[in-house]
Amino acid sequence: MPRTYETECWLPTPIDEVFPFFADAWNLERITPPFLKFEVLTPKPLEMREGAIIDYRLRLKGFPIRWRTRIAAWEPPFRFIDTQIKGPYRLWHHEHTFEARDGGTLCRDVVTYSYMAQPLVESWWVRKDIEAIFAHRQKVMQELFGGASSGGDHQIRREAQGAASLPM
């Protein structure tokens, strides 16, 4: 059963400065936790657009993994979606949205995912990794752009079960 994880982070930086950071796939290496040993394999330059394919290498629980994603939607500077073509998940649909708010940018991530393991493993093991990944991401983004500290009132984390459909 697909699960949905949502998180928001407000940054005191204009959207026209925040979005270009995310338009550069190599910045994923900067905001991904070191325990994943994350590396973008796609050669530079990469034109970010709908249909762009990005290859990565990472380690999950010590196991080497190759991951390939496709940019399913590209609407700068407000939104993009990446979906897994090949990798550790049965389903990975990650919508990134950016909204000008209060003189800065509200960054929102909505991830719908399903893992290739039993539901108990998925609900505990995978969820904890996703929470750790996004907590690290928010910490790094706040170090780079400023903003509320971890756990501040501009950060919201939610998880819901049973995502019925995926907006494309």
The whole-number average pLDDT for the span 95-104 is 97
How much is the mean pLDDT over the chain? 86
What pLDDT, in 10s, does the model give residues 14-57?
A: 999 999 999 999 999 999 999 999 999 999 999 999 999 999 99
Note if the pTM is more than 0.75: yes
**pLDDT at 147 (0 to 100):** 73
Q: What percent of the chain has pLDDT over 90?
A: 70
Q: What is the dihedral of CA 59, 82, 162, 8, to 10 degrees?
A: 90
Label residue 53 left, alpha or beta by phi (over 0 means left) and psi (-120 to 50 means alpha): beta
What pLDDT, in 10s, does the model give residues 61-72?
A: 888 999 999 999
**pLDDT at 119 (0 to 100):** 58
What would the CATH number be for the domain defined by 3-161?
3.30.530.20
Q: How many CB atoms lie within 10 A of CB 3?
A: 21
pLDDT at 116 over 90: no
